Structure 1
Amino acid sequence: MKSKILILFINFLAFNTFAQWQPAGDKIKTRWAEEIDVNNVLPEYPRPMMERSDWKNLNGLWEYAITKAGAPQPANFDGQILVPFAVESSLSGVQKSVGEENELWYKNSFTVPASWKNKKVLLHFGAVDWETGIWINEIKVGTHKGGYAPFSFDITPFLNKSGEQKLVVKVWDPTDKGYQARGKQTSNPRGIWYTPVTGIWQTVWLEPVNEIFIQNVKSVPNIDNESLNVLAVTCGTSFGDYYEVTVKQGGTTVSTGKAVAGEALDISVPSAKLWSPESPFLYDLEVKLFSNGKVVDEVKSYFAMRKISTKRDESGIVRFQLNNKDYFQFGPLDQGWWPDGLYTAPTDEALKYDIQKTKEFGFNMIRKHVKAEPARWYAHCDKLGILVWQDMPNGDRSPQWQNHQYFNGTELKRSPESEANYRAEWKGIMDYLYSHPSIVCWVPFNEAWGQFKTEEISDWTKSYDPSRLVNPASGGNFYHVGDMIDLHNYPGPAMYLFDGARANVLGEYGGIGLALEGHLWATDRNWGYVQFKNSKEVTDQYVEYAEQLLKMIKSGFTGAVYTQTTDVEGEVNGLMTYDRKVIKMDEERVRQINQKICNSLHK
């Protein structure tokens, strides 16, 4: 009888908690918004590239307050917010603006599992936009600047010996009033500029580790040598400590290797199965850290054997190659916005859905546009098989933009603080995404926005990761650096420049608009580069542009990006509506012509 009463009481508490949260506002929503459980928000392990068995998710209902910037921590909070959805989003349950003159406060409490005794406790944030301060039990433990890369703190010394631990987070985000990376966020949403995203927008979680532990695992495949270069980045190690790497295929050990802490290791992968969008095969990777002959840490990872490069063909055109074969890369511009969660997908299924649809549309690539996603998005790309061009989110100001000639103007001169922040954020994004095989191209700048010291940044990016291509200046302000020249043209494809020394790509085109009633973010201000009235007209135009692109492949294009995957706020030029409820084109016709383009260089 007592157990039944206890179950009823727990159910009552769960229902009461849920009843306190509802999506805010009356904007359109995805179907996944209805599946959110406030007691189990985005419960999936947030770092698939380096997985440990023990962790604790802190997502859920927290308290929040908005105060004037510089004010002390509030004694009373304004209400509840659903973490990790930005305060401006519907799914936060708040949907309030913050602005540069205010700060956003969060408060939560947690307990540390008894089994973590004698362990270090790391507090992880997937991403918080933008300047973050962290307090544990009234002690400020650190700050972080940056809206896209993950960060963490060792909070062990500040924890109470038992009971509840108090966590307070303060965030300040000037949106477009500062120099920081912000992508398409603006304080005045309109056209191609969207709602601000302030505060926590990725999973917050705890993780126990030993005094000596693995911080990161970086892996680079070499299909020509049938090997994998691995570096386990460690913390707390001393002379004599080493790590062991084991490569597995379907549970069977392929090879093993050992190296002292801090030293990279080449490990054999004989007769390797190669990864591609057509066959996305992944190997398992186990890494163990030893100290005094004993295992002190162990993580699970994965990798793929694949190679991305360029090569001049028999006609003298520089082509992309995948695994040493000519390969045309074709995909949509994917901005990763959601009508209900803004930067944050409502569920992991939703996060995966856009990638699945991209594959079903017949594409083999995605350009992730001026946004970095949670690590799970890239893991889905790895497993499903899709190439990714990764943009650096733009920030600071836009100087003059030249896109029909090589740049002969004056580049943007950032302040030392702005420049240092760009470099730190770009490196942080590259670091946490470094081992994902789906990523084949880094894009430091887009359409001149925030573009500075292009040659230096391009060369640094290539030097930091020589295994991938660098698209130094997507859409304009071109220099003779990097691996490609990237043209943008709307609405139809065009080749208005040609570089005989590098690959030539059409980094953006299309933007065919179709506004569908009942699926619009705003009913009074919708646009596309061209607008049509029904699905057939839109599909016909898409196919016509694709046929034009096919002819240009023979002339020299080796990659292209269509704008875009979904509608975003006032933009109605998506293959799908913003709420993902309607495919706006004839999917089979789109798939057929896309496959024809993707296979155009196959022999």
Structure 2
Amino acid sequence: MRRFIVFLLFFMFAIIETFAQWKAVGSRIKTEWSSQVDPSNVLSEYPRPIMERDKWKNLNGLWNYAIINKGESLPIKFEGEILVPFAIESSLSGVGKLITEQQELVYQRYFEIPSSWKGKSILLHFGAVDWKADVWVNNIKVGSHTGGFTPFSFNITSAILAKGKNCVVVKVWDPTDKSSQPRGKQVSKPEGIWYTPVTGIWQTVWIEPVSNAYIESLHITPDIDNHLLIVKTELEGSINADVIEVEVYDDENLILTEKSIYSQPVEIVMPQNVKLWSPDSPFLYKLKIRLKKGNEILDAVESYAAMRKYSVRRDSHGIVRLELNNKALFQFGTLDQGWWPDGLYTAPTDDAMLYDIKKTKDFGFNMIRKHIKVEPARWYTHCDRLGIIVWQDMPSGDSNPQWQNRKYFDGIEMKRSLSSEAIYRKEWKEIIDCLYSYPCISTWVPFNEAWGQFKTAEVADWTKQYDPTRLVNPASGGNHYTCGDILDLHNYPAPELYLYDAQRATVLGEYGGIGLVLKDHVWEPDRNWGYVQFNSSTEATDEYIKYAEKLYRLIEKGFSAAVYTQITDVEVEVNGLMTYDRKVIKLDEERIKRVNSRICNALEK
């Protein structure tokens, strides 16, 4: 009993010490989830549900950090601790410092390999690091990666110590708006629609054991017209295996099993009464995928798939409409920038991230435009499970200052350097690759409002060829060219159909921006703005309803989708349906849901 009490006291003191070493910094507003962040158990959910293994170890938590001049040697001593995976500029990092383009951020932590993983290869995964990451394990360079929005991993088996603790070091350089990499809304001097920089690790870091041969990635394609589900696996390691086996489950009931060899795609003929995915019925089939050699299972992952189809077709009135599962559906959603007052790019908890998606559904929307940011994998899984269609933007960027100041298109595409083009194309391909299998994504959006827009027709055509299963919105509100599937207009504050394309679907990619300041829920006490501003929730809701009714009338004139700005306030923008800290729903939810539901169902016959 005495030993138990001593152990309990030791455990309690260890927890108290851990909390004492870390606390959120800064005096700005925070979400209610900020207080739930446990530095010893940060974002503990498996980070990639579309391809899940049963054994893994989370490396989130307190790491050592140091800020060095660019090009300096790795530090021997560190300045303090930072809570991963929150960017160093954020409150939840426990640091709250800005990094310039002349500096680099270095992380360090120790980890142990579970004894049960003996004999396995070890993969080190990063959900996302902004922007250039170099990684060492036990002073051995294991790899580098550029791109602030996509996952990457390294096989670190050869660098792992046979016994004891291992040391991982990550060095990051992020020039924000002083270079040509995609960065979305980040700028070194935030103001207006431009926000605080995000530097370093901002998604989960984890390790997992695999065999010498393993499944590296999945490429899942539904074909509802031919009742097919196609599962393609990319394999890594010493490939000496016979079979890829895929089991399909309807809930817990095994309904189909198919196999292939030599990494050939597994083609599964689905039942005639197949269950289709939609916002009203977001059914997901569970998949179990195994890499086998004879009866030996070398690797096994769990995944899921949805039977759904995105397309366009001309209706009986001659208007080109967006379709889901071969039926016209008016896609109506919010602009969702995915920013948090306490975590910046990173939601404080998984429940916090899920909350925004749930509220979007509660407001009666059926779609989200993910605005010039890419979210963690779990965000897309939540959309898959809840039934939210997603338009995925490419994060904008380039060092040329003209793109930042151009709000309206002028018909002139900017000229990017060859290196800038190469960065864009590499990162856009990686984004499409890592998000391909998520059923919720209906539309790729390569450019926004002429920001860094170049070679639009070429980029749109490449995107369509690379992924013919989805629609391409070539330039949301930007310079317009007759390419892709969609003509996308922006108009603030009220909807206007000022251009129309008889050959493509015409959509309203942004409108609204109704501002309402709530004193104790703002990022700054002044500088707050919206496209129009009101003094009460009733006035703001009345304006929203007025715009919605006008939008409804424009549907029969030619609009096939619309995006309202926006789901939450972001920094000094106060045009959200919710405050930035998510503590107040600013507009009348029930009134909005009624009119939104009418709009979403406008094309039903």
Shared fold by TM > 0.5?
yes
In structure 1, what is the Cα distance between the partners aligned to 2:12 and 2:215? 40
Give me the identity figure in percent.
60
- Partner of residue 555, structure 1: 557
Q: Deviations over 1:145-199 (max 9, x none)?
A: 1100000111110111110001111111000001001000000000000000000
Partners of 1:72 and 1:297 lie apart in 2 by 39
How far apart in 2 are the matches of 1:240 and 1:200? 35
Partner of 1:203: 204
Aligned with 2:526 (options 521, 524, 527): 524
Question: Does the Cα contact within 8 Å between 2:125 and 2:207 map onto a contact in 1?
Answer: yes
| Cα distance in structure 1, aligned partners of 2:241 and 2:172 | 42
The one-letter amino acid paired with 1:433 is L
How far apart, in 1, do the equivalents of 2:208 and 2:481 lie?
A: 44
Match of 1:308 among 296, 310, 323: 310
Relative to the length of structure 2, the TM-score reads: 0.98
Whole-Å separation in 1 of the counterparts to 2:119 and 2:131: 33
Taking the aligned partners of 1:286 and 1:417, their CA distance within structure 2 comes to 41
CA contact (8 A) 2:389 2:440 kept: yes
Aligned residue type for 2:100: G
What is residue 416 of structure 2 aligned with on the other side?
Answer: 414
Aligned to 1:58: 59
Aligned equivalent of 1:573: 575
Distance in 1, matches of 2:190 and 2:36, equals: 28
Per-residue CA deviations over 1:83-112 (Å, capped at 9, x if unaligned) read 000000000000000110111111100001
Residue in 2 that maps onto 1:117: 118
Match of 2:232 in 1: 231
1:444 to 432, 435, 446: 446
Distance 1:19 1:404 in 2: 52
Q: What secondary structure is seen at the aligned counterpart in 1 of 2:83?
A: strand
Q: CA deviation at 1:262?
A: 2.5
| AA aligned opposite 2:26 | G
Q: Which residue of 2 aligns with 1:515?
A: 517
The residue identity in structure 1 corresponding to 2:282 is P
Matched, 1:285 2:313: no
Q: Deviations over 1:400-430 (max 9, x none)?
A: 969578x4x3x22222221111111111111
Give matches, 1:123-162, under 5 Å.
123-162=124-163
TM-score, structure 1 as length reference: 0.98
Q: Distance in 1 between matches of 2:377 and 2:241?
A: 33
Once the two structures are superposed, what CA deviation does each residue of 1:354-392 show, in whole Å capped at 9, x if it has no partner? 000000000000000000000000000000110000000
Is residue 329–residue 558 contact of structure 1 (8 Å, CA) maintained in 2?
yes
Cα distance 1:402–1:566, how it changes in 2: closer, same or farther (>3 A)?
Answer: closer
State the 1:451 CA deviation.
Answer: 1.2
How far, CA to CA, are the matches of 1:384 and 1:314 in structure 2?
A: 31
Q: Amino acid of the residue matched to residue 349 of structure 1? A: D
Q: 1:424 and 1:489, CA in 2 relative to 1: closer, same or farther beyond 3 A?
A: same
CA distance, structure 1, for counterparts of residue 45 and residue 107 of structure 2: 22
Q: Distance in 2 between matches of 1:581 and 1:401?
A: 33
Change (3 A) 1:239 1:82: closer
CA shift for structure 1 position 236: 2.7
Matches within 5 A, 1:120-519: 120-236=121-237, 238=239, 241-270=242-271, 271-396=273-398, 397=400, 398-399=402-403, 407=411, 409=412, 411-519=413-521
Greater displacement, 182-191 / 428-437: 428-437
Deviation string for 1:507-546 (max 9, x for gaps)? Answer: 0000000010000000111000001001001000000000
Question: Residue 189 of structure 1 aligns to which amino acid in structure 2?
Answer: P
Aligned residues: 600
SS at structure 1 position matched to 2:544: helix
In structure 1, list runs of 5 or more residues that go unmatched. none
Partners of 2:408 and 2:450 within 8 A in 1: no
Corresponding residue for residue 83 of structure 2? 82
Quick one: which amino acid aligns to residue 118 of structure 1?
A: G
Q: Contact between 1:338 and 1:345, CA under 8 Å: does it hold in 2?
A: yes
Judge conservation of contact 2:241–2:291 (CA < 8 Å) in 1.
no
Deviation at 1:265, TM superposition (A): 2.3
Q: Secondary structure at the match of 1:153?
A: strand
Structure 2 distance, partners of 1:402, 1:47, is 36
3-state SS of 2:133 partner: strand
CA distance in 1, matches of 2:69, 2:240: 50
**1:503/1:401 Cα in 2 relative to 1: closer, same or farther (>3 Å)?**
farther
- Using the TM superposition, name which of 455-464 and 574-583 deviates more: 455-464
The residue identity in structure 1 corresponding to 2:108 is K
Q: CA deviation at 1:455?
A: 1.2
State whether residues 233 and 261 of structure 1, in contact with CA within 8 Å, keep that contact through their aligned partners in structure 2. no
Please list the CA deviations of residues 431-470 of structure 1 after superposition, one character each: whole Å capped at 9, or x if unmatched.
1111111111110111111111211111111111111111
Cα distance in 1 for partners of 2:422, 2:294 equals: 40
Offset at 1:237? 5.3
CA distance in 1, matches of 2:461, 2:420: 19
How far the C-alpha of 1:239 sits from its partner, in A, is: 6.6
Where does residue 14 of structure 1 map in the other structure?
Answer: 15
Q: CA–CA distance in 2 between the matches of 1:592 and 1:230? A: 40
- Cα distance in 2 for partners of 1:417, 1:292 equals 47
- 1:35-74 aligned at under 5 Å gives the runs 35-74=36-75
Q: Distance in 2 between matches of 1:462 and 1:578?
A: 35
- The CA deviation string for residues 107-155 of structure 1, in whole angstroms up to 9 with x for no partner, is 1000011111111100000000001110111112111111000001111
Distance in 1 separating the partners of 2:377 and 2:215: 18
CA contact (8 A) 1:68 1:101 kept: yes
**Alpha-carbon distance between aligned partners in 2 of 1:300 and 1:476, rounded to the nearest angstrom:** 40
CA contact (8 A) 2:409 2:450 kept: no
**Contact 1:402-1:477 at 8 Å conserved across structures:** no
What SS does structure 2 have at the residue aligned with 1:208?
A: strand
Cα root mean square deviation, aligned: 1.2
8 Å CA contact 1:69–1:103 kept in 2: the answer is yes
Structure 2 segments unaligned to the other structure (5+ residues)? none
Aligned residue identity for 1:89: S
Q: Which amino acid aligns with 2:380?
A: Y
Alignment-mate amino acid for residue 218 of structure 1: H
**Displacement of 1:240:** 5.8
Shift in Å at residue 242 of structure 1? Answer: 2.2
Q: Counterpart of 2:328 in structure 1: which amino acid? A: D
How far apart in 2 are the matches of 1:295 and 1:63? 39
Distance in 2 (CA, whole Å) between partners of 1:518 and 1:401 is 32
Cα shift readout 1:315-370 (whole Å, capped 9, x = no counterpart)? 10000111111100000000000000000000000000000000000000000000
